[in-house]
């Protein structure tokens, strides 16, 4: 029987999502729990990888079990093993041809920035910039990121193809907490963190608004990267 689960996790407690030898990762923890429940080895396929320190409110994974378990009972069984730093939010049976990664239509990521005083208790969950930002300038600059583009200058590491599409970027302010929300088809390695880094430089007045346009228009030209920490990044949800 094939299942799809939606999970949340505290990324500060793991070395990322993907299985990495003997390191504590989300995939490894889930597979070990499911193998106990299934009484046989289980391999899960995630909708995507998140790096060390990146959190998730809505990550999805599919897997197969040797026998049928009612979804509600399966949720309780998994959570009894993986809580408190991973939590299964929902579970359902799916068709045999469904794939958690290849059937994705949209991913939503948040990046949280504390513009107020340093808060050590939130260090693992918000980027402690502790400076005010010109959000209007950042909003104006972010418009150059929306659409179908070659994002070479916003991705870390080699790829065969850097083309992608960002549907929308939102700026949500709650007191001193700024959340930048990205809606897109998919996101490559460090892509959100690199985009946020440049937007912050623009918000601090250290780069001009058209800096993003330069990078989009000149994908073969090398530019300095401004990669922010992983602690403020959240995979919010995935649309199928």
Active site residues: 51
Tokens 């106990």 appear where?
36
Phi and psi at residue 20, to the nearest 5°? -135, 85
**What does the alpha-carbon distance between residue 52 and residue 22 come to, in Å, rounded to a whole number?**
15
Return the sign of the alpha-carbon dihedral for residues 50, 171, 138, 221.
positive
Q: Are 107 and 184 in contact (CB under 8 A)?
A: yes
Q: Of the candidates 137, 164, 169, which has an alpha carbon nearest to the alpha carbon of residue 153?
A: 164
Give ∠ CA 198-202-207 in degrees, rounded to 5.
90
CA–CA dist 231, 32 (Å, integer): 26
Structure-token match 């992983």, residue found: 230
Does the bond joining 84 to the residue before it have cis omega, within 30 degrees of 0? yes
Query: How far is the C-alpha of 152 from the C-alpha of 162, rounded, in Å?
Result: 5
For 195, list phi and psi in degrees, rounded to 5: -65, -40
Which phi and psi angles does 109 have, rounded to 5°? -120, 145
User: In 10 A of CB 67, how many CB atoms?
Assistant: 8
């Amino acid at each position: 029987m094939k299942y799809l689960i939606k999970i949340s996790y505290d990324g500060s407690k793991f070395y990322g999502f993907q299985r990495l030898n003997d390191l504590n990762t989300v995939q490894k923890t889930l597979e070990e729990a499911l193998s106990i429940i299934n009484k046989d080895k289980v391999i899960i396929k995630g909708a995507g990888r998140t790096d060390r320190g990146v959190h998730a409110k809505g990550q999805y994974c599919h897997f197969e079990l040797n026998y049928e378990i009612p979804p509600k009972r399966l949720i309780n069984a998994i959570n009894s093993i993986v809580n408190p730093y991973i939590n299964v939010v929902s579970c359902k049976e799916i068709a045999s041809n469904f794939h958690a990664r290849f059937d994705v239509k949209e991913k939503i990521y948040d990046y949280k920035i504390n513009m107020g005083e340093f808060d050590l208790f939130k260090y693992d969950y918000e980027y402690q910039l502790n400076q005010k930002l010109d959000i209007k300038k950042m909003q104006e600059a972010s418009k150059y990121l929306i659409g179908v583009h070659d994002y070479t200058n916003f991705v870390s590491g080699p790829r065969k193809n850097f083309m992608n599409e960002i549907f929308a970027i939102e700026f949500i302010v709650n007191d001193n907490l700024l959340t930048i929300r990205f809606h897109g088809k998919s996101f490559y390695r460090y892509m959100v963190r690199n985009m946020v880094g440049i937007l912050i430089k623009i918000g601090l007045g250290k780069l001009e608004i058209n800096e993003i346009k330069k990078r989009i228009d000149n994908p073969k030209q090398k530019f300095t990267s401004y990669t922010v920490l992983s602690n403020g990044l959240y995979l919010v949800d995935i649309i199928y």
